[in-house]
Amino acid sequence: MEIKACIFDLDGVIVDTAKYHFASWRRMANELGFDFKSKENERLKGVSRMGSLNLILEWAGVEKTEEEKKALAVKKNDWYLEMVENMNSDEALDGVAKLLDTLESKNIKIALGSASRNAELLLKKIGLHSRFEVIIDGNKVTKGKPDPETFQKAADGLGVEAKHCIVFEDATKGIQAAIAAGMYTVGIGNADVLSKANVVIPNFNNISFDEILEIMAATTKS
């Protein structure tokens, strides 16, 4: 195992925006006379804005025209942007900046691979934009996670082969995408939900990059 690059998802990995996506989608669902809980929300993680809306409409059994869907997606995004408006560098998740420092000190390249079209805005708000050599977001892909395109493009941009990359993800679909790309995976969150990942950690507190690599080496068949 020779790691030359780390590719990070954004929402729920770098910054705790997953809860704001959930809250704004739930508000939209409620307006449509429908509700969903965190179990269903797992299926929205890593999914594009339109993809998420289509799923929610399907669950609600509601049909909308393309025009109406566009308007609903704009409305959800406006609510989401209101929620994240005052985010600042305090809101990067604990341990993330330290991990990025460690990677830089080891000359390991850093990229972002996110489904969000707001990714660059969020990275700027939390002061980490300049730490990412390559940023692949929802504006730059045609096939969303679990398709491997996001992570393949990130690795190509860095000039690193997939077998030398680790992907950090909080979404099942993101872990599937990274596996499909032929990369190592670290799940951030619940081990039951992210069971396909090579390593699962609840967050970046109290664990170093070397410890993550040790666990990965011990649990991953080569």
- Residue 49, contacted partner among ligand BG6, Mg ion, none, CB below 5-8 A by kind: ligand BG6
Applying CB under 5 A, the span of 86-94, 104-112, 146-154, 164-172 interacting with Mg ion comes to 164-172
b/e map 80-105, b = 16+ CB within 10 Å:
beebbeebeeebbbeebbebbeebee
192 is catalytic: no
**Helical spans, DSSP H, in 88-130:** 96-105, 119-125
**What crossing angle do the helices spanning 149-158 and 172-180 adopt, rounded to 10°?**
60
The residue among 120, 113, 214 whose CA lies nearest residue 170 is 113
- Residue 172, contacted partner among ligand BG6, Mg ion, none, CB below 5-8 A by kind: none
User: Whose Cβ is closer to ligand BG6: residue 25's or residue 209's?
Assistant: 25
The residue among 6, 29, 72 whose CA lies nearest residue 204 is 6
170 is catalytic: no
- Residue 52, contacted partner among ligand BG6, Mg ion, none, CB below 5-8 A by kind: ligand BG6
Query: Least CB distance from residue 44 to ligand BG6, whole Å?
Result: 5
Q: Which residues are catalytic?
A: 9, 11
Interface residues with Mg ion (CB under 5 A) are 9, 11-12, 170-171
